[in-house]
Amino acid sequence: MFASDMNPARDAGRVTTVGTVLFPIQFTWPHGGRSVFLSGSFNRWTELVPMSQVEGCPNVFQAVYAVPLGCHEYKFFVDGEWRHDERQPHKTGEYGIVNTFDAIPIPAQVPLVHPRSEILNNMEVDNGLMHRVSAITLNQAMPRISEEDVTASRHRIAVYLQGHTAYELLPESGKVVALDVALPVKQAFHILSEQGIPLAPLWDFRKGKFVGVITASDFILILRELVNNRSNLTEEELETHSIAAWKEGKAYLKGQVDGHGRPIPKELIYASPSENLKDVALKILQSGVAIVPIIHLEDGLFPQLLHLASLAGILKCICRYVKHCPASLPILQLPIYAIPLGTWVPRIGESSSRPFAMLRLTASLSSALDMLVEAHVSSIPIVDDNDSLVDVYCRSDIMALAKGRAYTHNLNEMTVHQALQLGLDSNPPYGTRSQRCQMCLRTDTLLKVMEQLANPGVRRLVIVEAGSNRVEGIISLTDIFRFLLG
């Protein structure tokens, strides 16, 4: 069955387009055996992918494998014999009866990330919907927890957050960088890069107030517009455009104009030091921003920028609280696979779920930027030729292009590997893989995941398969708070 031509070795310094955008899929063999392998058209029938026996269910074997776009065939190699799963779509092909599935893109061929639709423990949540377990999912002994326990745990956390204020997020010492809206975009880009920060509040001296935030996403949109217009970025373009001009142009790009065609000014979302932490968290969630500036306002005085509140800072407070009363919050001891939390790799036969994508190191940087914008995600898992996680490309990584003015290069010719290497070179303390590429297992408890996400600089965890490090899902800070706050 195996073809003679094997996948050629890829050069991480050379952009390739074939097979660089990948969609991880969970394959399941539920019919028993001593040793089970997977192969298919997605690996040109040249590789036997070992499948792992599911703990607690000896007849079920699973494997996660990333496939390119298109229609695919596959079979299982069970105890030395080729077999297909009659429960899944199948047809007669070149290798006899084979199972089939399609990896189909959404418009713009960029996948949209959706939360997993099923809860893996038949647990009722506040909305009253009962989510059932597929017979061929994890099949582990599912932890049991009542709806009352979930509601009680959420209530305790909500009461704690309502009893504490944003003032408690302020560090004993530190600095907050703010930029003038009159600054050229180029200068803002370099300042943020030199300070090692992905965003900054914007101050308008003419209005005497803070008017917005400039983020890494702004620079991604700027670079992307130039790439789409088939022009390389020049020093003059970044030098002559102020932040204020860009924000106005961004409003036109997004159609945020009034009946007279004038851009509608976007109000700054901020919090006062006296606001409770639950309200601050809800502001972040509902507005879809990464931070909320904590600003002290007093009549007759300029506004005082005290801190940038984030979900990570609030989560750190929650972790300190639950450390003293873990028994009163039973949901924290649940493994994450038993909770409606995060985005998971879809299973074969899940027609309602759209897959999320991964990239090879050889993918072009422009393809990564397109995916970040079009799929509305903050990060993309980067995998090697074995589909094992090797890194994550995040929106904030765009700041590394300021080094040596790398943003003036053709982004279609720069690989993701080269872009990540710029970040390692320009920011060595943050450059180790263990710091950048935070991982967890499906069996980790909610509390353990929360403690990892509360660490500075960590915004998401990639769920990986034990041993192989193949991607199984992603959990973000936003996911945690949406679950905790109901």
pLDDT at 336: 92
pLDDT at 349: 62
Sign of CA dihedral 387, 389, 395, 401: negative
Cβ distance 338 to 142 under 8 Å? yes
Q: Give the E-state strand segments of 223-376 in sequence order.
A: 291-296, 304-310, 343-344, 358-360
Q: Please state, in angstroms and rounded to a whole number, the distance separating the CA atoms of residues 170 and 250.
A: 32
Q: Please state, in angstroms and rounded to a whole number, the distance separating the CA atoms of residues 102 and 463.
A: 24
Task: Pinpoint the alpha helices (H) of 83-204.
Answer: 147-162, 185-195
Looking up tokens 């290497």 gives 421
CATH class for the domain made up of 334-485: alpha beta
Neighbours of 165 (CB within 10 A): 19
pLDDT at 112: 32
Q: Please state, in angstroms and rounded to a whole number, the distance separating the CA atoms of residues 56 and 253.
A: 53
Helix axis angle for 365-374 and 216-228, nearest 10°, is 120
Instruction: Domain 22-103: give its CATH code.
Output: 2.60.40.10
**CATH architecture of the domain formed by 162-313:** Roll (3.10)
Tell me where in the chain the CATH 3.10.580.10 domain(s) lie: 162-313, 334-485
pTM to 2 decimals? 0.79
Q: Give the E-state strand segments of 178-263 in sequence order.
A: 179-180, 199-204, 209-215
Token pair for residue 333? Answer: 């001891």
Tell me where in the chain the CATH 2.60.40.10 domain(s) lie: 22-103
If residue 382 lies in a helix (H) or strand (E), which one and from where to where?
A: strand 379-383
The contacts of residue 5 (CB under 8 Å, 6+ apart) are 44, 46
pLDDT at 374: 83
Q: Which of 119, 306, 164, 289 is nearest to 216 (CA)?
A: 289
Cβ distance 15 to 413 under 8 Å? yes
pLDDT at 173: 85
pLDDT at 161: 97
Fill in the amino acid letter for 396: S
Q: Tell me, what DSSP letter sits at residue 357? A: -
Q: What is the pLDDT along the chain (486 residues), one digit of tens a residue?
A: 554 333 333 344 445 554 468 888 889 999 999 999 999 999 899 999 999 988 788 899 998 888 888 899 999 999 999 999 999 999 998 889 999 988 765 433 333 333 333 333 333 333 332 232 333 333 445 566 788 888 989 999 999 999 999 999 999 888 899 999 999 988 999 999 888 899 999 999 999 999 999 999 999 988 887 766 655 555 566 677 899 988 887 887 777 888 877 888 788 999 999 999 999 999 999 999 999 999 999 877 889 999 999 999 999 999 999 988 777 788 898 999 888 888 888 877 665 444 578 999 999 998 899 888 888 888 999 998 888 999 999 999 998 888 767 777 778 889 999 999 887 776 554 445 556 789 999 999 999 999 999 998 888 999 998 888 989 999 999 999 999 998
Query: Which of helix, strand or coil describes residue 258?
Result: coil
